[in-house]
Amino acid sequence: MAHTVEWQVHLHLFEDEGTTKARAVVETGANSVVGNGLARCNPNDRDIPEIGDELAAGRAMRDIAQQLLGEAQRDIESVNAPAQQGAGEPWPM
């Protein structure tokens, strides 16, 4: 059974007084998942905006990843899928 979908990812970055904020939105077609991330520049460090962008964006995407994995786990459990073979453990995430 072939299955192909396309999800849209929007990543918004904002900088405000040494703090970079990221908001990532994944549009699945059925719903939206929103993740947030922050990065702060240490006052003793050189201000390199690209590093703040990378950290904040990565953290926002990690937030989304954790939400999606949690949703997948709940979906697996809702269809009474057996746990990992013989281990009595949830599906590996």
pLDDT value at 5 more than 60? yes
Under 8 Å between Cβ of 20 and 52 = yes
The pLDDT value recorded for residue 18 is 82
Burial zone of 39 (CB within 10 Å; 0-12 exposed, 13-18 middle, 19+ buried): buried
Fold adopted by 8-78: Double Stranded RNA Binding Domain (3.30.160)
Strands 8-16 and 19-27, bridge-based pairing: antiparallel
Extents of the domains making up the chain: 8-78
For 36-92, the pLDDT digits (tens) are 999 998 889 888 899 999 999 999 999 999 999 999 988 888 887 665 555 555 556
Q: Which residue has the higher pLDDT, 10 or 46?
A: 10
37 strand-pairing partners: 22
The pLDDT value recorded for residue 45 is 87
Q: Which residue has the higher pLDDT, 13 or 93?
A: 13
The pLDDT value recorded for residue 84 is 59
For 11-25, the pLDDT digits (tens) are 999 998 889 999 999
